[in-house]
Amino acid sequence: MKRSALACIAISLSLVVGACGNSAPSPTAAPTPTATRLRPQQLPGSFGVTGPMAFQRGDQTATLLLDGRVLVVGGHHNDTALETAELFDPISDSFSPVGSMSTARDQQAAALLADGRVLISGGGPSNDLASAELFDPATGKFTPTGSMSTIRGKHVMVTLKDGRVLVAGGTDDNTDLASAEIYDPGTGKFTPTGSMASGRDDPSAVRLADGRVLLVGGLNGADPLATAEIYDPGTGKFTSVGSMSSARDGLTATLLGDGRVLVAGGYGSTAALATAELFDPTTDKFTPTGTMGTVRVGQTATLLTSGMVLIAGGFNDAQNVSIASAELYNPSTGTFSFTSSLTTGRQNGTATLLHDGRVLITGGDSNQSDLASAEIYQP
């Protein structure tokens, strides 16, 4: 049986979307918000129940579309992979089913393309897949596209500045992969690119302000990694950079407004971590920063419009419980402080920054039960 993913890789996908357009049809626009909101008033700094989703889901992906809706795809329920998908409407704060994928996918990866479509790759019902498909918001349908050069699950995908998509790492069911490839939306094909120095299963990745991509942590075999690498789209090569002070799997990596990257939590060599560190792309080094109020693995991390980072949920291995608490990281002071708690403790869910500045939290599992519930954080 596949190991369950410990982190949501699609963290703040809006931060890694390329700026190049192409000839694909433009997505339909979302309805213009009216003065009368369909949701109840919510206090600042609080979580409120929304949704629910049509399906219970863990290890799903959630992608912010150009029109402000959120596409939630795949994942699993009771160890069964799902092919279903649904859309969250931020005007009505409700979910509605949309066309299904051609195959069930769990622990897949998703990336928003510059033309508004969404690329879904890999994952699988029992064995991982090499196939990929595209979701078109204009039609609400999925269509096949080219296949990857190898099967992958628990890999990462990051949209580059030129509109192509970097696919890296993961596992082929037996081996942690160091290989990477590039998806070209213009041709619909994947082509190999440079390989990483180390195989990485379930790493975290973020596109830096200069266009390079940082890949950090994850697993190699049974061992969490402290190492990090940077992919340069100009050369097509990975370069090893400074290592973290702690090995981490199930961590989060979040691009800050000043260009640094906040790395937090995850499993260390022997236990879950509360520590965090900052990656500075001007020196390619990590330095410690403030410590969270509790250990977390499989949490979400979202850059708010204020510049602070919302860390929510996760798993506490010492107490063997899914976490409901949430914290805010202040880059100016380098400190964490607790904010309101989730209404439900959850891990391996998703967090998506909406166009209006709120954060949508979906699914995941709570003490080994997959969730259909969703919540909204009002900054």
pLDDT at 10: 36
Classify each residue of 72-106 as buried b or exposed e, where b means 16 or more C-beta atoms within 10 Å of its C-beta. bbbbbbeeebbbbbbbbbbbebbbeebebbebbbb
* Nearest CA-CA partner of 251 in 3, 5, 53, 15: 5
Question: Is 226 in contact with 248 (CB distance < 8 Å)?
Answer: yes
Strand positions, DSSP E, 164-221 = 165-168, 180-184, 189-193, 204-207, 213-216, 219-220
Residue 170 token pair: 């993961």
Alpha carbon 204 to its chain centroid, in Å, reads: 8
pLDDT at 168: 98
Q: Which residue has the tokens 């798993």?
A: 315
* Nearest CA-CA partner of 28 in 137, 166, 181: 137
Classify each residue of 247-271 as buried b or exposed e, where b means 16 or more C-beta atoms within 10 Å of its C-beta. bbbbbbbbbbeeebbbbbbbbbeee
The phi, psi pair for 36, rounded to 5°, reads -95, 110
Q: Does domain 13-19+43-378 have CATH number 2.120.10.80?
A: yes
**Which residues share a beta bridge with 219?**
201, 224
| CA 66 – CA 159 distance, rounded (Å) | 14
* Nearest CA-CA partner of 349 in 64, 2, 6: 6
Q: For the chain, which ranges sit under pLDDT 50? A: 1-38
Residue 10 token pair: 């699609």
* Nearest CA-CA partner of 354 in 324, 379, 330, 327: 379
Classify each residue of 323-341 as buried b or exposed e, where b means 16 or more C-beta atoms within 10 Å of its C-beta. bbbbbbbebeeeebeebbe
The maximal CA–CA distance of the chain, rounded, in angstroms, is 54
* Nearest CA-CA partner of 324 in 333, 334, 332, 314: 314
How far CA 185 is from CA of 159, 200, 208, 213, in Å, comes to: 11, 25, 21, 19
pLDDT at 54: 96
**Which residues share a beta bridge with 216?**
204, 228
The phi, psi pair for 14, rounded to 5°, reads -65, -20
- Answer yes or no: pTM beyond 0.85: yes
